[in-house]
Amino acid sequence: MMGYTRTRSQTCLARVTGHQGGSQMKRSLGARTVLLPAPVLVVGTYDKEGRPNVMTVAWGGTCCSNPPCIDIALRKATYTYGNILDRKAFTVHVTPERYLTEADYFGIVSGRDVDKFAATGLTAERSEIVDAPYIKEFPFFVECALREVVELGLHTQFIGEIVDVKMDEDMLDDKGLPDVGRIRPTVMVPEIRNYYGFGEKLGDVFVMGRKLRVR
Amino acid sequence: MMGYTRTRSQTCLARVTGHQGGSQMKRSLGARTVLLPAPVLVVGTYDKEGRPNVMTVAWGGTCCSNPPCIDIALRKATYTYGNILDRKAFTVHVTPERYLTEADYFGIVSGRDVDKFAATGLTAERSEIVDAPYIKEFPFFVECALREVVELGLHTQFIGEIVDVKMDEDMLDDKGLPDVGRIRPTVMVPEIRNYYGFGEKLGDVFVMGRKLRVR
């Protein structure tokens, strides 16, 4: 795969001039899933026997503001895939730095073979509004009712309508919104397979760009 | 909206015990789009007259590994919405810190009213493989052919199959993959409406969690 990509890349070099005066070569990487950032989302479901499971996904995010919806994409081989089709519900947790090792573990092993709650010492609680469990110790999760199933290939996209968001009191700022500095959320870099924390605040949305408004 | 949410929240408090010995109150925030992180993706399209346009979206990400696919969600009111339906193609750029002001601007004004390339001094180039433009100065973009259109409500999700990824040579690491330290990609925090950079590397995917493997 790498050999193929490298060979192809070398035939696709094109010289372009950079914004900052330098010259850069654009290289073709091939059709690869290297978009940045990817999230670190922990999906909670019940299986047919009512056992709680969690798995970590990097393909997902918000996809509609009204009604508020989240999408996550899973391989059919995952235990969670069947659980969502059965239960028509799931939770999605944001992974804070302090639980990154657990979240990574949730992506390594299958709920078919292992009780991931027992293995990590984390606590499964039942959502009161959707048929799915959540991790009590995680600061932040979203409760979703299944709405759409989109078959794409290796992955199937599940779109869930957000029914509620629950967050630890001490993770909220003074406006009642998530406090990034306290939550310390994480991001994932696909293919290179690294996790990162959030860095410094760079600016305000729909404010930074106003200075470029000419009319 | 905030008043409603705050009132509802106060009736939904539930005491749970935290992992680290403390006690936390979980609060209901209502059905809100506060999942973290959101990306800062700049979508490039041509309009009916062949004029290039760019807009910035926070709802989107990778959604399938094979065939590699990206999803982005847009309101019908956007200029880009019609462009994608017409052209069946789009590009998606990762926003580096040094172009965050431009990317924010792309989300403030509409291509119906403004030539965003002229306003920012950035350069539109034609993709050689999909019917869409890209921003020459951005270090990193993905070329997509439209595959699925999923109507969700306020937003419509467009799923594009990744045809290729192009990246500036000097943004690649020694394995030919995106170098986060050089690209300096950005993330967005919805509702609070802040931008952040990436912070420190926290670990390796599918490695960190191995220590929790018990069998």
Both tokens of residue A191?
Answer: 């293919």
How far apart (Å, rounded) are the C-alpha atoms in residues B201 and A53?
28
Put simply, the answer to whether B178 touches A36 (Cβ < 8 Å) is yes
Preceding peptide of B139 cis, ω within 30°? no
Task: Name residues whose C-beta falls within 8 Å of residue A93's C-beta, 6 or more positions apart in sequence.
Answer: A41, A42, A43, A44, A54, A134, A135, A138, A140, A141, A142
Chain A 50-109, CB below 8 Å of chain B: which residues?
Answer: 58-71, 73, 92, 94, 97-109
By the CB < 8 Å criterion, does A111 face chain B? Answer: no
Q: What are phi and psi of A80, to 5 degrees?
A: -60, -35
DSSP state of B211: G
By the CB < 8 Å criterion, does B110 face chain A? Answer: no
Q: Are B35 and B58 in contact (CB under 8 A)?
A: no
% of chain A residues with pLDDT over 90: 87
By the CB < 8 Å criterion, does A196 face chain B? Answer: yes
DSSP state of B96: B
By the CB < 8 Å criterion, does A201 face chain B? Answer: yes
| Weakest mean pLDDT among A18-22, A71-75, B175-179 | A18-22
| CA quadruple A201, A202, A206, A208: dihedral, nearest 10 | 150
| A52-to-A35, A65, A83, A132, A140 alpha-carbon distances in Å | 31, 29, 10, 8, 18
Residue B110 has pLDDT above 50, yes or no: yes
- Chain B neighbors of A208, CB-CB under 8 A: 100-101, 104-105, 195
**Cα-to-chain-centroid distance, residue B66:** 20
Residue A5 has pLDDT above 60, yes or no: no
- Identify the three-state secondary structure at position A79: helix
Higher pLDDT, B12 or B70: B70
How far apart (Å, rounded) are the C-alpha atoms in residues B42 and B44?
7
How far apart (Å, rounded) are the C-alpha atoms in residues B84 and A30?
22
Put simply, the answer to whether B101 touches A203 (Cβ < 8 Å) is yes
At residue B65, the pLDDT reads: 98
Looking at CA atoms only, how far is residue A98 from chain B in angstroms? 10
How far apart (Å, rounded) are the C-alpha atoms in residues B205 and A95?
13
Put simply, the answer to whether A64 touches B59 (Cβ < 8 Å) is yes
Q: Using CB atoms, pick whichever of A102, A163, A208 lies closest to residue B104.
A: A208
Both tokens of residue B29?
Answer: 């925030």
Mean pLDDT of A56-75: 98
- Chain A neighbors of B77, CB-CB under 8 A: none
Preceding peptide of B185 cis, ω within 30°? no
At residue A25, the pLDDT reads: 82
At residue B24, the pLDDT reads: 67
Q: What is the ipTM of this complex?
A: 0.89
Q: How confident is the model at residue B25 (pLDDT cuts 50, 70, 90)?
A: confident
Give A153: exposed, middle or buried? Use CB within 10 Å, 0-12, 13-18, 19+. Answer: middle
Chain B 132-151, CB below 8 Å of chain A: which residues?
Answer: 136-137, 139-140, 142, 147-148, 150
